[in-house]
Structure 1
Amino acid sequence: MQNKYALLFFSLLCLTGFSVSAQQLTGKLFSKETKESIPYAAVQIGENYGVITNNEGEFQINVDRFSANDSLYFSSMGFVEQKIALKDFQPKSSIYLKEDVSQLENVFLVNRNLSIEEIMTKVNENLDKNYTYSLKKFDIFSRKQSTTKVLDMEFEINKATFLDKSVRKDFNKSIDSLLNVNKNSTNTSYSESYTQIFIGSSLDSLKVDLQKVTQLKDETKAGDAEDFSSQVFEKIAKNLKSKNTFKVKSGLLPIDDSLEVGESFRVKENNDSLLTKDVKSTHARSMKHSANLHPGKLDFVEDFEAYDFTQEKITGYQGEMVYVLNFIPRKGRAKYHGTLYISSETFAVIKAEYELEEGEKAAGMNLKFLLGIKYRRNKNTGIVIFKKNAQNTYDPIYLKSSTQDYVYLNRSFKFKENTDDRSNRIKFKFDLLVENESYTNQELLIVKTEPITAETFNSFKEKEGVLIDKIKKYNAYIWKDYNIISPEKDLQEFEY
């Protein structure tokens, strides 16, 4: 569906630790003191290459480019870093990290005791210096889980001059079948991808090398309001015989005076591939606008005066002293609670954990009675982790977000063919109602970051896209040559 209709339809990862090959090592991290697993810990070889443990403390890392004398480094906030030579690493190892209590004895290393207000002010003052993404290449693994609960779904044609009486019955039958499959259903899908992103001299210049995409999805069901709308419009397009454009209105609102129905309504005939241009636009928006990539855009950083902060302790992470600040809402406009981890030297946000307060909404609009549209984001939690690079700035190494959205769409649409032959002009009108809740969990692992030259950026040529590897059950072998986030149990066992 074209971008101009996005508002109307709210377009608004075998077993864990699969058998070790010559290239892939797997294991799990635990706290030596508590014996609890350590999620989101860094597992690295060298400065700019590594993975993150998943929510269950598990990891897998491809090491085919390294020698037996190279070492894996394991680090997590508040723990002593540990290293193990590849030649000494045992398959499916359990690694125990010791808590770094010595850091509390080194508080004197901080130049002076700063107030929380002073710390947060310095965070904001140093944002431009600490986070810069120009002339860089990122290798990114992405995993997305989407679950949609269809609460209600209706479609009714009020007028359709393009439908002969002989095909009207079959058309309505196909629509009823579509409704029966989707109404009151719950659909879960997974998608994974590995992409290289090249950034030029500014965030406005970006190129994408889409390398691999997998999809685990029941395509007979609609994933969301847009999916259902596309399925309906595909059926309309199959019955619509016109080379002319159409005037389109929804209620009193004109949408388009010259809509090319075949292009705008028809679902992509080739849905087995993912186009570079589509991935590029998504990453371009993220690089420019995502608060996770730009801590200054995080509500509790940008508007820190609306929050109450308490300093928990000072700890260490990968050679840096770190302030640990908890925050809760103080003023009405504050929406989140969580924890910030801030470098005492550079005042960079190294890690942020946040969750939307109960009863708050992260975003939304309610035009239900005026325009038949309602949207609300009822849940928004996230984790973002950064690491200092050789240039003493910070690059993201892991991002995780979980959202819950409610969407209600109840609209009437009118189409009138643009033709001088009024007696045979095609007209049709239909009512569409879709109400659903969607739950999305997305993780990004930045496997590798490296600086590039303007010449490298300019010389890179994008390809059109890549074929989607569609699967019915998770298969870890697909990713044997890549660094990814180790799959959790739900994904390992999911199939349809």
Structure 2
Amino acid sequence: MKPILIYFKSIIIAIILFTLSYSYGQETFSSRLLDSKTEEPIAFATIQFNYKTGVISNDNGEFNITIKRDVNATDSLMISCLGYEEKRIPLINFDNSNIYLKPKTVDLSEVLVTNKNYTIDEILDKIEEGLYTNYDFGYAKRKLFFRASKYIHMDKRYVDLEESTIPEINQHFVDSLIQIIPESIDNHTEILGELYGEITRGKPQKMEILKASRLFDKSTEVDLNNYAERLNGILKKHIKRDSYFKIKSGWFSVKQDIDTTLFDENQEKTVSKPLLAEQNKRDSIQKLNFLPEKKTMIHQFENNNFIDDDNDLNFIHKSRRYEFEITDYAYIDDMFVYVITFEPKRREDFAGTMYVNTEDFAVVRVDYNNVESLSDFSLLGISSKKYLKKGTIIFRKNNNEKYVLKYRDETLGEQFGIKRPLKIVEKNKNVRGRRKQNEIKAEIHFIGRNIEKTELVVFETDIITASDYTNFKEKVLVTPTHLSQYDPEFWKGYNIIEPNKALKDFKVLDTEN
């Protein structure tokens, strides 16, 4: 027995020593980037450790970078951003205070000696010519961080119960059901991983998910399930096994058969086994679907840009529909760029600014936003309005001297509503002389907003071969870690884009208080 205890003791000591040495050999540096003149936050700046690995500041100028070894006197952070002077920050005495960047002025004559004085039409032609030669579409491994956030806010939740032949289904019951539906719902998915495959749009991809999390409130599902069980009990008491429902809203109607398992006398005795089996089935489907769903989503997002002619960001491929103006010159990543603004002439959707390399006419960055609603639908009490689409796309050169995606973010906003009458009638053809059994009649009115914000940071892009892609084996069964509130420790030691305030403030409310 004694040797076994000594053996386990040695293992524990080894684990403790390893943990201590690992934590001692890494350090995290946090700060916020501000404009030295305006004190406005500087978003999407690049923060590199010794010109190597690095991160990007978020839309509030914040960043967090972890160095996985002890720093020394020669270590520093190199901070660069379009339109600002590059700044070197030694790490030996780093104090996490705000960092101020000076706006960079560019000498126009210095820009013009690098190239002839092209007209805006000539520049646009050269941009379009270079779309399929300046950018890399070949096989690559992209180490990336992906974040998708969804926010739903209900501005109006109202059901006026006009008639009910079932006493338990009254206005009070309906109001209580509506109250458990949260006024605001948000969830966030974060993934750190490596994506393998051709960058070209639509090509198959493989992915290794290194770590993933989901922030969402599971309690709403439980509350809704409880109400569903309560409602089933009411229906079982008042409706007939061989009846059917006629559901009508305005001119539209549909027939719905009644689920006969509602009347199974043994259901209550065996309910735990089917529920457990169903839960296990959902968990298995989630494990099987998470990886393929997310890698497809990420690949589509990295290609959803102005390069493809089949895209609503059409200001390059349909440039004649826009007004362009060279408004300034800037310097970024050792290259001079034209600063070109664009806006629609007539009915196009987007305005923005693009930054174009004066040497090869590659668009290295574009900021865009819609100027009109992208769609506005309203018919028979159902409405939908896509009112927001804005984002930023940033490219950088890889080892092939071609441009690959470095950062992309996009925010989509939609307003939806429904205001319609609803009537549910229980009918039974086997009851002589009276087919209609029960009836519920109501007016429903819901108005809500849906915001989706997606961010993608590509830290490294390494060229690979087709055989590298073929030989890579995926781990299929991957599920994210569920978090009920933002946990800064979850990503500690990983270099990701700093979360925004909404994500940091995420916390499931304690319903027991």
- TM-score band (shorter)? 0.7 to 0.9
**What are the equivalent positions in structure 2 for 1:381-460 lying under 5 Å apart?**
381-408=390-417, 435-458=447-470, 459-460=472-473
How many Å separate the matches in 2 of 1:231 and 1:209? 38
**What are the equivalent positions in structure 2 for 1:266-281 lying under 5 Å apart?**
269-270=282-283, 275-281=290-296
Code of the residue aligned with 1:134 in structure 2: it is G
How many Å separate the matches in 1 of 2:333 and 2:229? 54
How many Å separate the matches in 2 of 1:489 and 1:308? 36
1:210 corresponds to:
209
Equivalent pair of 1:131/1:395 in contact (CA under 8 Å): yes
Are positions 1:80 and 2:85 aligned together?
yes
Q: 1:486 to 1:430 in 2, by over 3 A?
A: farther
Code of the residue aligned with 2:480 in structure 1: it is L
Code of the residue aligned with 1:440 in structure 2: it is E
Q: How much does 1:181 deviate?
A: 1.9
Code of the residue aligned with 2:195 in structure 1: it is I
Q: 1:112 to 1:440 in 2, by over 3 A?
A: same
Say which of 357, 363, 370 aligns to 1:349.
363
Q: How much does 1:132 deviate?
A: 2.7
Say which of 184, 187, 190 aligns to 2:185.
187
1:9 corresponds to:
none
Q: 1:295 to 1:488 in 2, by over 3 A?
A: farther
Q: How much does 1:391 deviate?
A: 1.1
Equivalent pair of 1:326/1:340 in contact (CA under 8 Å): yes
**What are the equivalent positions in structure 2 for 1:127-166 lying under 5 Å apart?**
127-153=131-157
How many Å separate the matches in 2 of 1:127 and 1:407? 37
Give secondary structure in 2 for the equivalent of 1:322. strand
Code of the residue aligned with 1:82 in structure 2: it is K
Give secondary structure in 2 for the equivalent of 1:211. strand
Q: 1:186 to 1:144 in 2, by over 3 A?
A: same
Are positions 1:379 and 2:388 aligned together?
yes
1:120 corresponds to:
124
How many Å separate the matches in 2 of 1:295 and 1:396? 17
How many Å separate the matches in 1 of 2:441 and 2:50? 60
Q: 1:201 to 1:482 in 2, by over 3 A?
A: closer
Residue deviations 1:100-119, cap 9 Å, x none?
32443412333211111111
Q: 1:173 to 1:448 in 2, by over 3 A?
A: farther
Q: How much does 1:250 deviate?
A: 10
Structure number with greater Rg is 2
1:419 corresponds to:
none
Equivalent pair of 2:147/2:191 in contact (CA under 8 Å): yes
Q: 1:169 to 1:48 in 2, by over 3 A?
A: farther
Q: How much does 1:204 deviate?
A: 1.9
How many Å separate the matches in 2 of 1:319 and 1:182? 53
1:307 corresponds to:
322
**What are the equivalent positions in structure 2 for 1:95-110 lying under 5 Å apart?**
95-110=99-114
Residue deviations 1:62-98, cap 9 Å, x none?
2216974454321111222233454x35141443333
Aligned length: 452
How many Å separate the matches in 1 of 2:399 and 2:212? 31
Equivalent pair of 2:30/2:64 in contact (CA under 8 Å): yes
Please, which runs of 5 or more residues in structure 1 have no aligned partner? Answer: 1-18, 158-164, 243-247, 416-421
* Identity among equivalent pairs (%): 25
Give secondary structure in 2 for the equivalent of 1:277. helix
Residue deviations 1:285-326, cap 9 Å, x none?
3345x1267598423223222222221112110011100011
2:353 corresponds to:
339
How many Å separate the matches in 2 of 1:111 and 1:377? 42
| TM-score normalised by the chain length of structure 2 | 0.71
Equivalent pair of 2:306/2:315 in contact (CA under 8 Å): no
Q: Quick check: 376-385 or 444-453, which moved more?
A: 444-453
Say which of 455, 470, 484 aligns to 2:483.
470
How many Å separate the matches in 2 of 1:232 and 1:279? 32
Equivalent pair of 1:29/1:37 in contact (CA under 8 Å): yes
Equivalent pair of 2:180/2:223 in contact (CA under 8 Å): no
Q: 1:238 to 1:103 in 2, by over 3 A?
A: farther
Q: How much does 1:173 deviate?
A: 8.8
Q: How much does 1:150 deviate?
A: 1.8
Q: Quick check: 321-330 or 60-69, which moved more?
A: 60-69
How many Å separate the matches in 2 of 1:209 and 1:132? 22
How many Å separate the matches in 2 of 1:347 and 1:194? 32
Equivalent pair of 1:277/1:464 in contact (CA under 8 Å): no
How many Å separate the matches in 2 of 1:325 and 1:317? 15
Residue deviations 1:334-353, cap 9 Å, x none?
22222111111121111111
Equivalent pair of 1:293/1:396 in contact (CA under 8 Å): no
Q: How much does 1:156 deviate?
A: 11
Q: 1:306 to 1:214 in 2, by over 3 A?
A: same
1:283 corresponds to:
298
Q: Quick check: 109-118 or 129-138, which moved more?
A: 129-138
2:491 corresponds to:
479
How many Å separate the matches in 2 of 1:312 and 1:325? 6
Q: Quick check: 210-219 or 457-466, which moved more?
A: 210-219
1:22 corresponds to:
26
How many Å separate the matches in 1 of 2:420 and 2:220? 21
Equivalent pair of 1:212/1:466 in contact (CA under 8 Å): no
Are positions 1:361 and 2:365 aligned together?
no
How many Å separate the matches in 1 of 2:196 and 2:487? 29
How many Å separate the matches in 1 of 2:219 and 2:417? 22
Equivalent pair of 1:300/1:307 in contact (CA under 8 Å): yes
How many Å separate the matches in 2 of 1:293 and 1:325? 17
Equivalent pair of 2:181/2:220 in contact (CA under 8 Å): yes
Equivalent pair of 2:214/2:483 in contact (CA under 8 Å): yes
Equivalent pair of 1:155/1:430 in contact (CA under 8 Å): no
Code of the residue aligned with 1:308 in structure 2: it is E
Give secondary structure in 2 for the equivalent of 1:62. strand
Q: How much does 1:30 deviate?
A: 3.2
How many Å separate the matches in 1 of 2:448 and 2:416? 5
2:60 corresponds to:
56
Q: 1:221 to 1:147 in 2, by over 3 A?
A: farther
